[in-house]
Amino acid sequence: MSAKILFKFIEKGINLSPDAYNKILSLEDPLNFSLSLIVKLKSQKYSKNDLISLDESIVDEFIKTLEVESFQANGEDNSSSLNSDFNRKSNKNSSTTLNPNISDKSEKIIENGINTNDEKKYKNGNQSSSDAEFKIKDKIEANSDLGKIEKIDNSISDEIKRNLLEPNTQFDFKIIQDTSKKSYTSGEISNLISYFKNRYEKLSNILSKRPELKVHQKISDITNDTKDINIIGIIKEIRSTKNNHKMIEIEDDTGEISVLVHKDNHDLFNTSEKLVKDEIIGLLAENKGNLIIASRIIHPGVQRVPEKKMDFATVFTSDIHIGSLTFLEDAFVKFTKWLNGNFGNDNQREIANDVKYLLIAGDIVDGIGVYPNQEKELAIKDITTQYDEAARLLGEIRSDIKIIIGPGNHDASRVAEPQPAIPEKYAKSLYELNNIEFISNPGIVSLDGIITLMYHGRGFDDIAMTVKGMSHEKNELIMEELLNKRHLAPIYGERTPLASELEDYLVVDNVPDIFHTGHVHINRYKNYNGVHMINSGTFQTQTEFQKIYNIVPTCGEVPVLHKGNYKQLKFI
Ligand code: D5M
Ligand code: FE
Ligand code: ZN
């Protein structure tokens, strides 16, 4: 055991002092403690390549944080010394109530006569005096372009169970695109042809509005006498030549042609390095007789989106992975308490009070058999029971928040994208909650006029693995690139299974106000030409599978768009 622990730290470039090592070994569950500490260090204070020397004081500091959290998670019981994260496994066996409205706690609150309608009290937080002692004052500043990450204040007020009330909030909620019932594919080759034809038509419509491409040729019309070439085509192949230029093979519905990108044309060469198979581009080139030399590559692109007024807050999450042993239930419970106005400082509660929508971009549950040996990391080994547990946890959220859920690759939907909404058959208890809307992946909704494209993000794996300079970690670059390409998963037939529908629903026909994604388990935010691009991270600590790919998740951090301003709240 002790060698295993040392190895875990060494693997991540962390050097343990002898005192720190002895301290960890003296704990109740040293291995779990070590894994959590590694995740915390690597996802918060340091980057994955930093070398860290860990002394006893850092271990003590982490133990202290866990004690505070343990106090809050356990109410009056301050006796256990470790984070309830570790206690969670034993809690799993406690009986679950599917209908939150009849849970013991809510009954107690009603008996105690707390006026749940008291809006002022809710807003002001109504903190108990003892909370002050346990308030963590530090605010964590993000070190990157993400802006400020605010640690949620560890103060709890008397519970106010707003989900017992009839909601009187007015929602202007519309589903703009839900492909759940639009799956016509029979898997025939003719479908594949229609699918690509549709992709080409949609994107060439967008491209042909660009002044440089208003007049363009069909490939079959190009002759030796055509000097200037302007075409719109799909990339069949892109490869390096032996002199390190790039050769693009591009085709349209009439023919195909090879175009060379010269390595000395640096800007163009850099752009060509981000091209992928099966994407649709505009290409300007010069015909030199024996060779066609590219002069411009044109993406469908993103025009600046004007800012819309937003007088409420929308919360984004994904990759909760309920049912996994690595699901951070305590952090998630704190999150739902915050939504209900029962957690955080006054300012944080004010934000919670403004929340109208909660979007969940897939991987609500961990599913079964998604990757090899997954069952060893499952706390719940039945998909319906996983959704029952999800219903129990989401059922705690006040009913005047509309929750919109799309599936991810761990959910019980078909794996090929577009994925239909999570079927009721497996998630009956979730369907019983009347503030949830289920949509496809991808799906588009209008939240009081704010157009939001939600995509789980499986297509990101292909981009991260094949495009130079792209990684899961900097997924905002992937989101930007995909918006420019106006396709969520352009590469056909590799990691991301795509269903060859008659229409390609993964084309981004219209640029949204918000582009919300998940899957990578790493929070990122960027405002790109007015589009809020958000990856909502995860509530799951690093899995064995993610260790292989060296993916270090950012756990328990929840993005919020509050009246148009981005904020990220940390629940661990
Ligand atoms: O994905 C969890 C993490 O694992 C996320 O960062 C993507 C990464 N991942 C998942 N599948 C793959 C493949 N096939 N290649 C590379 N990286 C991958 P989750 O969907 O939660 O399991
Ligand atoms: Fe996930
Ligand atoms: Zn996923």
Rounded to an integer, the average pLDDT of 118-144 is 29
Indicate which CATH number applies to the domain containing 272: 2.40.50.140
Q: Considering the domain boundaries, does residue 248 fall inside one?
A: yes
Q: How far is CA 37 from CA 44, 57, 61, 66, 90, in A?
A: 10, 13, 11, 10, 20
Give the pLDDT confidence of 358-379 residue by residue, as tens digits.
999 999 999 999 988 899 999 9
Residues 194, 137, single domain; the answer is no
Residues 196, 275, single domain; the answer is yes
Range of 7-11, 23-27, 233-237 with top mean pLDDT: 233-237
Identify which has the larger pLDDT, 345 or 77. Answer: 345
Q: Whose CA is nearest to atom 14 of ligand 1?
A: 495
Identify which has the larger pLDDT, 147 or 571. Answer: 571
409, 545, 550: residue to mutate for ligand 1 pocket, most atoms within 8 A of CB: 545
Q: Considering the domain boundaries, does residue 278 fall inside one?
A: yes
Give the pLDDT confidence of 333-342 residue by residue, as tens digits.
999 999 999 9
On the question of pLDDT at 143 being above 80, the answer is no
Residues 51, 135, single domain; the answer is yes
Q: Considering the domain boundaries, does residue 271 fall inside one?
A: yes
Pocket of ligand 1 (CB under 6 A): 319, 363, 409-410, 461, 472, 495, 519-521, 546, 549, 551
Q: Considering the domain boundaries, does residue 220 fall inside one?
A: yes
Burial classification of residue 566, based on how many CB atoms lie within 10 Å of its CB (0-12 exposed, 13-18 middle, 19 or more buried): middle
CA of 546 to the centre of ligand 3 (A): 11
CA 319 to ligand 1: nearest atom:
21
On the question of pLDDT at 468 being above 90, the answer is yes
Q: Considering the domain boundaries, does residue 236 fall inside one?
A: yes
Residues 102, 13, single domain; the answer is yes
Give the pLDDT confidence of 19-52 residue by residue, as tens digits.
888 888 888 778 777 877 776 676 555 655 667 7
Q: How confident is the model at residue 167 (pLDDT cuts 50, 70, 90)?
A: low
Q: Whose CA is nearest to atom 16 of ligand 1?
A: 461
Give the pLDDT confidence of 404-439 residue by residue, as tens digits.
999 999 999 999 999 999 999 999 999 999 999 999
Q: Sort residue 424 into left (φ over 0), alpha (ψ -120 to 50) or beta.
A: alpha
Q: Is 351 helix (H, G, I), strand (E, B) or coil?
A: helix
Burial classification of residue 266, based on how many CB atoms lie within 10 Å of its CB (0-12 exposed, 13-18 middle, 19 or more buried): exposed
Q: Residue 217 corresponds to which tokens in the numbers above?
A: 């040729």
CA of 411 to the centre of ligand 2 (A): 9
Q: Whose CA is nearest to atom 18 of ligand 1?
A: 461
For residue 427, the model assigns a pLDDT of: 97
Cα-based torsion angle of the residue sequence 499, 411, 567, 507 in order, rounded to the nearest 10 degrees: 10
Question: What DSSP element (H or E) covers 261?
Answer: strand 256-261
On the question of pLDDT at 135 being above 50, the answer is no
Give the pLDDT confidence of 547-565 residue by residue, as tens digits.
988 999 999 999 999 999 9
- The residue range of the domain holding 275 is 189-298
Q: How confident is the model at residue 147 (pLDDT cuts 50, 70, 90)?
A: low
Rounded to an integer, the average pLDDT of 488-505 is 92
Q: Considering the domain boundaries, does residue 130 fall inside one?
A: yes
Query: At residue 49, what is the residue type?
Result: N
Q: Considering the domain boundaries, does residue 118 fall inside one?
A: yes
Q: What is the largest CA-CA distance in the chain?
A: 88
Q: Residue 280 corresponds to which tokens in the numbers above?
A: 């649709």
CA of 410 to the centre of ligand 3 (A): 6
Residues 122, 254, single domain; the answer is no
CA of 393 to the centre of ligand 3 (A): 20
Q: Whose CA is nearest to atom 7 of ligand 1?
A: 520
Q: Residue 209 corresponds to which tokens in the numbers above?
A: 């509005």
Q: How many domains does the chain have?
A: 2
On the question of pLDDT at 517 being above 80, the answer is yes
On the question of pLDDT at 54 being above 80, the answer is yes
Using alpha carbons, select from 154, 487, 488 the residue that is nearest to residue 334: 154
Q: Considering the domain boundaries, does residue 464 fall inside one?
A: no
Q: Whose CA is nearest to atom 17 of ligand 1?
A: 461
For residue 214, the model assigns a pLDDT of: 94
Task: Give the end of a domain, one of 239, 272, 298.
Answer: 298
For residue 527, the model assigns a pLDDT of: 98
CA of 32 to the centre of ligand 2 (A): 21
CA of 414 to the centre of ligand 1 (A): 17
Q: Residue 166 corresponds to which tokens in the numbers above?
A: 């009839």
Tokens 């693997």 appear where? 11
Q: Whose CA is nearest to atom 1 of ligand 1?
A: 519
Identify which has the larger pLDDT, 141 or 440. Answer: 440
Give the pLDDT confidence of 74-97 residue by residue, as tens digits.
433 332 222 222 222 223 233 222
